[in-house]
Amino acid sequence: MTDAYEGAIVETFRRNALRTAHIIDDCFPTYGELAEGEKAKTKFKEWKLATELYDLFRANQIPCDVENTVNSIQEDVERIRKSDLIVLDYNLRPMDTRLSISLVRSLARTKHFNTIIVYTAADDLHEVWLNIAMALRGGWARAADESGPEARLEGLEDEDKKFQPPSRELMADHIVGRSVPVHHTGEWKAICDEVADRDLTKEQRLEVVDALVRREVRKMLKDDQDSIHAEVHSVDGRWKKDGPLWLQSGNCFVAIMGKPTSDGRSVAPDKLFDALDAALCDWRPNLLQIIVSEIQNILESDAIATHELHLRDPHTQVSLSYFLLLALSGGAPPRDSLDGPIHALLDKLVEGVRQRLVTDRDLSKLAGDLLAKELERLEIPDYGNDRRARRTGLFKKAQEMAGREDELDALQALLKLNAFLSSEPFRGQLTTGTVFESGGVHWVCMTPSCDMVDRPPADDQDWLKRLHPMKPIVAIRLKSKDAPKGLKEAENSRSLFIRKDKVVHVFDVTSDVGSQNYEFIYLRGGPMVLDEETPTFEGFRMWRDENAVELPATLQPITYRVVGQVRADYASRFLQQTGAWLSRIGVDFIRSAN
Structural domains of the chain, with CATH: 3-140+224-285 (3.40.50.2300), 149-220 (no CATH), 293-408 (no CATH), 418-582 (no CATH)
Q: Look at residue 450 and give its three-state secondary structure.
A: helix
Let me know: does 356 contact 308? Beta carbons within 8 Å.
yes
| Residue 14 burial by Cβ neighbours in a 10 Å radius (0-12, 13-18, 19+) | buried
Q: How confident is the model at residue 182 (pLDDT cuts 50, 70, 90)?
A: very low
Mean pLDDT of 271-292: 93
pLDDT digits (tens, 9 = 90+) for 196-230: 666 677 777 777 778 888 889 998 988 788 888 88
pLDDT digits (tens, 9 = 90+) for 328-348: 766 666 676 677 677 777 777
pLDDT of residue 446: 93
Q: What is the DSSP letter of 429?
A: B
Q: How many residues does the chain have?
A: 594
pLDDT of residue 56: 93
What is the b/e burial string over 247-284, where b = at least 16 CB atoms within 10 angstroms of the residue's CB?
Answer: bbbbebbbbbbbbeebeebbbebeebbebbbbbbbbbe
Average pLDDT taken over every residue of the chain: 84
Instruction: Please tell me the pTM assigned to this model.
Output: 0.80
Which position has the higher pLDDT, 157 or 175?
A: 175
List Cα–Cα distances, 111 to 86, 106, 252, 286, 587, in angstroms.
Answer: 15, 11, 10, 21, 56
Q: Of the candidates 143, 136, 86, which has an alpha carbon nearest to the alpha carbon of residue 114?
A: 86
Kindly give the pairing relationship between strand 85-89 and strand 21-24. Answer: parallel
Residue 316 φ then ψ, to 5°? -65, -40
For residues 143 and 154, give the distance between their C-alpha atoms in angstroms, rounded to a whole number.
Answer: 13
Q: How confident is the model at residue 544 (pLDDT cuts 50, 70, 90)?
A: confident
Which position has the higher pLDDT, 334 or 5?
A: 5
Which of the given ranges, 192-206, 478-492, 522-536, 543-557, has the highest pLDDT on average?
A: 478-492
Let me know: does 529 contact 428? Beta carbons within 8 Å.
yes
**Helices (DSSP H) in 423-567: which residue ranges?**
462-467, 483-488
Which position has the higher pLDDT, 319 or 248?
A: 248
Q: What is the DSSP letter of 449?
A: G
Q: Look at residue 518 and give its three-state secondary structure.
A: strand
Cα atoms in the Cβ-side hemisphere of radius 13 Å centred on 90: 24
Q: Look at residue 559 and give its three-state secondary structure.
A: strand
Q: What is the torsional sign of CA 301, 307, 311, 313? A: positive
